[in-house]
C-alpha cells in the first residue's frame, strides 16, 4: 500500500510536468506558486496533505485536491491488484498500466492532450508481454494483440478522418486513436468494439446535464481519454460476463 501511495505521488509529478515537457525524474518537487522546493517532511504522500491543511508551508497556496485523490486511488488500486495477482509479472504490468492511465486521465481532463511519451511505451509493452503465455488470461497472445492494436488505431483514425472530411474541422484527436491502439495491444481485438461503445455511452451520459443547461453544445470540445479509460476498466472487470452476454 505504501508503494502505491509513493507511485501516486510520482504520478502527480508527471501530471504536472509532462504537459510542459519538463523532466519528471530530476529536480526536487516545488510549489507551483512560490517555486520554493518542498522539503521531504512536506512531501509524504497523503499525510502531508492533511498535515499542511492542503496549503503550501511558505505561501499558503491551496494544494489541489487532485494530489490527494491520485495518491489515495493509487494506494488502494495497487493493493487490490496485488491481492488479485500476488507477486507476479501480471501484477507489475497492471501496476504500470494503472499508473499510466491515471496520468493520462488527469492530463487529458486539464490540457486536452494524451502524451506520446506515455502511449508509445505502453504500445511497445503491450506487444512484448503478449509473448509470455504464463500471464493472466486477460492478456491476449501475439497475433490477437497485434490485430487489436491495428484495429484500435485504425477504427478511431477512420472516424477522425471521416469527421474531418464531412465537417471540415477536427473531431477526436490522434491521442485518442493511440490510446485505443494501446488498449488493443494490451487486451486484444475483442476489447475494441466493447470499449468504443462503452466510452461513447459514458461520455454521452456525462454531458447530457450540461447540454440540458445549455452550458455545452454538441460541438463543444471534451476530453475523451478519461471515458476510454473508465470503459477499459469496466471491460477488464466484467470481460467474461460481457462476452458471454453477446455470444
More confident residue, 240 or 114: 114
Residue 166 pLDDT: 79
DSSP sequence for 79-119:
HHHHHHH-SSHHHHHHHHHHHHHHHHHHHHHHHS---HHHH
The answer, as to whether pTM is greater than 0.95, is no
Helix (H, G, I), strand (E, B) or coil at 55: strand
Beta bridge partners of 62: 55
Residue 114 pLDDT: 95
Please give the grid coordinates belonging to residue 3: 508503494
User: Do the Cβ atoms of 29 and 98 come closer than 8 Å?
Assistant: no
Residue 127 pLDDT: 95
Pairwise CA distance, residues 178 & 181, whole Å:
5
Q: How many DSSP H helices and E strands does the chain contain? A: 10, 0
Residue 75 pLDDT: 92
- The DSSP letter of residue 189 is T
Q: For 64-103, what is each residue's pLDDT tens digit? A: 899 999 999 999 999 999 999 999 999 999 999 999 999 9
Please give the grid coordinates belonging to residue 165: 472530411
User: Do the Cβ atoms of 30 and 24 come closer than 8 Å?
Assistant: no
Helix (H, G, I), strand (E, B) or coil at 224: coil
The pLDDT of 217-234, averaged and rounded, is: 83
More confident residue, 229 or 63: 229
Amino acid at each position: 500500500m505504501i508503494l502505491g501511495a509513493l507511485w501516486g505521488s510520482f504520478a502527480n509529478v508527471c501530471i504536472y510536468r509532462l504537459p510542459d515537457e519538463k523532466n519528471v525524474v530530476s529536480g526536487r518537487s516545488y510549489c507551483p506558486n512560490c517555486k520554493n522546493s518542498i522539503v521531504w517532511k512536506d512531501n509524504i504522500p497523503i499525510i502531508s496533505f492533511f498535515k499542511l491543511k492542503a496549503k503550501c508551508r511558505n505561501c499558503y497556496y491551496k494544494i489541489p485536491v487532485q494530489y490527494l485523490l491520485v495518491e489515495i486511488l493509487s494506494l488502494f488500486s495497487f493493493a487490490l491488484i496485488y491481492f488479485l495477482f500476488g507477486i507476479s509479472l501480471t501484477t507489475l504490468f497492471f501496476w504500470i498500466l494503472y499508473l499510466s492511465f491515471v496520468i493520462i486521465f488527469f492530463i487529458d481532463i486539464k490540457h486536452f492532450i494524451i502524451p506520446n511519451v506515455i502511449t508509445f511505451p505502453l504500445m511497445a509493452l503491450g506487444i512484448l508481454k503478449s509473448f509470455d503465455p504464463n500471464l493472466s488470461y486477460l492478456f491476449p497472445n501475439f497475433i490477437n494483440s497485434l490485430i487489436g492494436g491495428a484495429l484500435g488505431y485504425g477504427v478511431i483514425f477512420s472516424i477522425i478522418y471521416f469527421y474531418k472530411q464531412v465537417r471540415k474541422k477536427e473531431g477526436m484527436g490522434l491521442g485518442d486513436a493511440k490510446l485505443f491502439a494501446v488498449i488493443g495491444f494490451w487486451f486484444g481485438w475483442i476489447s475494441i468494439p466493447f470499449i468504443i461503445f462503452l466510452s461513447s455511452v459514458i461520455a454521452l451520459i456525462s454531458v447530457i446535464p450540461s447540454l440540458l443547461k445549455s452550458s455545452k453544445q454538441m460541438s463543444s470540445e471534451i476530453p475523451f481519454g478519461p471515458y476510454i479509460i473508465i470503459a477499459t476498466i469496466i471491460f477488464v472487470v466484467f470481460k467474461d460476463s460481457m462476452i458471454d452476454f453477446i455470444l
